[in-house]
Amino acid sequence: MATNCQCCRLRMYHDRKPKSLMGRFWRWHINFCPGWKAYFTSLTPEQQAKLREEYQFTKYQKTEQE
Ligand code: SF4
């Protein structure tokens, strides 16, 4: 599945204003969004680790992807 998460406008908004309503909405939606899941799980482990730290994101650990 091709996704646009790398340059998602909502994500950029979150990164600028993480505590705003839209920023918090974006962060909430990645907990279950299939597009984000497809994007995130397509990344290298190093890229995933960076995003996990940046967004305090804990889903889709290696065992969940298999
Ligand atoms: S799935 Fe979520 S993060 Fe990805 S492009 Fe859509 S809204 Fe943005």
Range(s) of the domain holding residue 27: 5-65
* 5 within ligand 1 shell (Cβ under 6 A): yes
* Contact (Cβ atoms closer than 8 angstroms) between residue 55 and residue 27: yes
Q: Is 22 in the pocket of ligand 1 (CB under 6 A)?
A: no
**Between helices 34-42 and 45-55, what is the axis angle to 10°?**
130
For the chain, how many structural domains are there in total? 1
What pTM, to 2 d.p., does this model score? 0.88
- Ligand 1 centroid to 66 CA: how many Å? 23
User: Can you tell me which atom of ligand 1 is nearest the CA of 29?
Assistant: 2
Q: Is 11 in the pocket of ligand 1 (CB under 6 A)?
A: yes
pLDDT (tens, 9 = 90+) of the chain, 66 residues, equals 567 999 999 999 999 999 999 999 999 999 999 999 999 999 999 999 999 999 999 999 875 555
